[in-house]
Amino acid sequence: MINEILQDAESRMAKAVTSVETAFKKIRTGRAHPSILDPVKVNYYGSETPLNQIANITVEDARTLGISPWESNLVPEIEKAIMKSDLGLNPSTTGGLIRIPMPALTEETRKNYIKQARAEAENGRIAIRNIRRDANGSLKDLVKEKEISEDEERRGQDQVQKMTDKYVASIEERLTLKEKDLMEI
């Protein structure tokens, strides 16, 4: 019983950390990285398809991404999709190759991105604390139903708290790295 609650809590906390990592990837750092284009979906024969499934995305230099679509008729669709995404990127086309220069970040945009990263990290911490609350509630329910003793409940709550501390520290670590990355010029 207790192990099932702990396993469920751990898997949900791991998902919360993954969610924060995904959110961090969407925050630009001024350097070219293909994962920036992960949220971009292109209209491909009537269905929304992720860009990385219909084109090859490469890093040409520190500030430029190159996209070479597998079908040349997709170039205008890809450009449209990138412009529609709220990434603030302006693609330029040369024949069948699309280049995306990464704009340099100003001090103000860096600070805004750091605020955004901190907000995402806080959302992750809140999610983890909610999972802890759910797990502790499940343990309390087991005590009420007389399926476990109060000592076992306390041990379970201690394990849930250790797990919570571990995953919150993991989010803090990722936030520190992201802030350092954003402040790099």
Cα dihedral sign, 99-101-102-103: negative
CB distance 54 to 37 below 8 Å: no
The reply to whether 13 and 75 lie within a common domain is: no
Look up the pTM and report it.
0.71
**Final residue of a domain: which of 50, 70, 101?**
101
CATH number at residue 76: 3.30.1360.40
The answer to whether 19 touches 109, Cβ cutoff 8 Å, is no
Q: Which domain holds residue 165?
A: 2-26+106-183
As a whole number of angstroms, the distance between CA 137 and CA 27 comes to: 35
Q: Tokens 């990127």, residue?
A: 89
Check residues 140 and 82 and name the one with the higher pLDDT: 140
Of these ranges, 21-25, 49-53, 152-156, the one predicted with the greatest mean pLDDT is 152-156
- Res 173: pLDDT: 93
Q: What is the pLDDT of residue 106?
A: 79
pLDDT above 90: residue 78 = no
